[in-house]
Copies of this chain bind each other. A is one copy, B any other.
Amino acid sequence: MCKRALQYPQVETPPPQPFLQSLKNTLNEILFADDPFRKIRNESKMSKKIELGLRHVFPILEWARGYNLDYLKSDVISGITIASLAIPQGISYAQLANLPPILGLYSSFVPPMVYAIMGSSRDLAVGTVAVASLLTAAMLGKEVSAVENPKLYLHLAFTATFFAGLMQTCLGLLRLGFLVEILSHAAIIGFMAGAATVVCLQQLKGLLGLSHFTHSTDVVSVLRSIFSQSHMWRWESGLLGCCFLFFLLTTKYISKKRPKLFWISAMAPLVSVIFGSLFVYFLHTQFHGIQIIGELKKGINPPSITHLVFTSPYVTLALKTGIITGILALAEGIAVGRSFAMYKNYNIDGNKEMIAFGMMNIFGSFSSCYLTTGPFSRSAVNYNAGCKTAVSNVVMAVAVAVTLLFLTPLFFYTPLVVLSSIIIAAMLGSAVRSTALMLGLVDYEAAMHLWRLDKFDFFVCLSAFLGVVFGTIEIGLILSVGISVLRLLLFVGRPKIYVMGNIQNTEIYRNIEQYPQATTISGLIILHIDGPIYFANSSYLRDRIGRWIDEEEEKLRKSEENSLQYIILDLSAVGNIDTSGISMLEEVNKILGRRDLKLVIANPGAELMKKLSKSKFTETIGKDWIHLTVAEAVSACDHMLHTAKPDSPEKISRVPEFNNV
């Protein structure tokens, strides 16, 4: 014990904080982890504070000052490039959502403008996405038919977009962005792969020129629906589709091999649309089973604010659809924004991005747009085309507006099958792409990577995939969130607890499984708990500690060594404890006491010491038995073992076992 007084200070209990102060710190840590207002707070002048605040809310004020002609040139090029992708993709995805095709164009006009003002990413290209479109169709379609009641369906889609935007804004304002993190990357990978499969399967309808089709999205229903109608298949449609698909995939392949030729794959959809339309126009093949888009109304977005439905039976449907699709859209948009920000080494504030997404969807829902976010494919094209700022989104919006004002008649003859090919081409490899995005990898067998690294992540990924493909999109989503959360709970519920041994010639103690050369010390056992002590694991830990001691005593009895006298608990990795955890420690102390064993604590952290001293546990076991390091605890025990001889081993007797197997 004398050694201790010389060498080590006592384990300290941090000074108590007033409750409100500690609540404020905790909330700050949860909600304002990145301390976004640091600059504003440090500024003393009020006018400067306001200016910084405005810049914080509208990033355009930040970057517009440094904008120059070089940037503009780059942004115009990339803006026109993404517009050429946005127009055919927008029309296709609107079809996927069972909405009028023109909505895809509307949605590429207003939202990008809003994002350019409020968004903080320089590379994100705003637009609609396939999965959210399909999910909108699946969720709304369950209760309102898009064919029988198109007006109500359309209005509900606007309302769902409004709710999605509202939710996104609220999440951002309340700084609850971390809720999106509940979707683990593995879950997103599986979900996206499943969604891509489902979206592709849906395109078989267009590709085979079928007019009736199942409303379910699972692979079994879709295949059954297709093969039961094999007599209705239109070979003309299928052939045309395959040709375009081949063309699109070839351009993709070329662009992938030579990244400089990115514009080939970016332009391919528009080229397909033009050629497809010309083909139909000149050959009059619409009578041969090739369906066409038909008339698109000229003119930019009509207002739709009066169409929002807030009346009873449908408002909950719109709310549910809005929340689920909104979260999905957020998860994709923020992941995309973050990865490009990482490439170019700037920061993105997730909460600010949420507000930007939310505002763009709210304004979108007022102007005949449906759900938009930052899709990966379009943003990647934007990035490759050399965009510098969000001005590229403005350029795209202007290009789309010009199309809306003057060019819509040109789409009259566009065959639907071309749109299907565009969607399939966009989806094939989307799984790989989204995976690469999530893992920060390129060209890697993602699922195998997960399998090798972390089996549980692979399992999450697989269940999300199977849930989407064989169940519904919602089932896939719920499964992946559920399993991800379960994993966190399992971590907390079953913390690792292992025996430590001394690494020879040092004062270091480590896991004897990881360091087989580490040696244990006779007469004591050192247990390391690798996680917080909470209600969810306190009875497990109690049982497990008991079992370690039983096993150790059995071993000692066989080898006739010194009997066990001290149990050292290394709490350095125990981040927190709750009241159940404290009761557990008290219980363990009592049980050990009855078995004539002494509990010794090593290195409890700040939070732990606070609670242990408040609960008087420190007094119960004695302050002298709480040590700063394991080494110190061992030396104190060793000292006692060799001088005091506390109790003779004969006294170590247990109450006779009676009804305990």
Contact = CB atoms under 8 A, between A and B. Distances in A.
Interface in A377-395: 389
A8 interface: yes
Contacts of A587: 342, 440
B186 A578 contact: yes
A175 interface: no
B453 A579 contact: yes
A580 interface: yes
A10 to B, nearest CB: 10
Contacts of A657: 346
A471 interface: no
A572 B485 CA distance: 24
Nearest to A631: B508
Interface in A177-203: 178, 181-186
Interface stretch (A76-84, A129-137, A398-406, A488-496): A488-496
A561 interface: no
Contacts of A182: 489, 536
Contacts of A455: 19, 23
Contact of A572 (B492, B493, B544, B572): B572
A170 to B, nearest CB: 18
A34 interface: yes
A532 interface: yes
A642 interface: no
A63 interface: yes
A495 B614 CA distance: 22
* Residue with the greatest number of chain B CB neighbours at <10 A, chosen from A122, A491, A507, A659: A659
Interface in A446-476: 449-450, 452-457
Contact of A347 (B186, B492, B660): B660
Contacts of A439: 579, 583
A179 to B, nearest CB: 9
B181 A536 contact: yes
A205 to B, nearest CB: 36
A514 B120 contact: no
Number of this chain's copies in the complex? 2
Interface stretch (A241-249, A321-329, A368-376, A603-611): A603-611
Contact of A579 (B185, B493, B609): B185
A34 B539 CA distance: 10
A456 B578 contact: yes
A457 B39 contact: no
A515 interface: yes
A573 interface: yes
Contacts of A23: 455
A455 B510 CA distance: 34
Interface in A7-31: 7-9, 12, 14, 19, 23, 29-30
A59 interface: yes
Interface string A603-623: 001110101001100000000
A660 B120 contact: yes
Interface residues of A, number: 118
Contact of A33 (B183, B185, B540, B659): B540
A353 B336 CA distance: 51
A228 interface: no
Nearest to A584: B440
A184 B578 contact: yes
A586 interface: yes
Contact of A488 (B344, B440, B492): B492
A625 to B, nearest CB: 19
B532 A345 contact: no
Contacts of A590: 342
Interface string A497-517: 000000101111011011101
A79 to B, nearest CB: 17
Interface string A143-182: 0000000000000000000000000000000000010011
B491 A575 contact: yes
A629 interface: yes
Given A8-B506, A389-B659, A34 B547 contact: yes
B578 A454 contact: yes
A655 interface: yes
Contacts of A515: 9, 12
B513 A14 contact: yes
A583 B185 contact: yes
A457 B579 contact: yes
A659 B543 contact: no
A547 B660 contact: no
Interface of A: 7-9, 12, 14, 19, 23, 29-30, 33-36, 39, 52, 55-56, 59, 62-63, 66, 120, 122, 178, 181-186, 338, 342, 344-350, 389, 438-440, 449-450, 452-457, 484-485, 487-496, 503, 505-508, 510-511, 513-515, 517, 530-532, 534-540, 543-544, 546-547, 572-573, 575-576, 578-580, 582-583, 586-587, 590-591, 594, 605-607, 609, 611, 614-615, 628-629, 654-655, 657-661
Given A178-B536, A182-B489, A453-B579, 4 more contacts: A19-B455, A55-B661, A346-B658, A488-B489
What are the 8 tightest A-B residue pairs by CB atom distance, in nearest-first order?
Answer: A184-B535, A573-B573, A514-B606, A530-B575, A63-B659, A34-B543, A185-B580, A345-B655
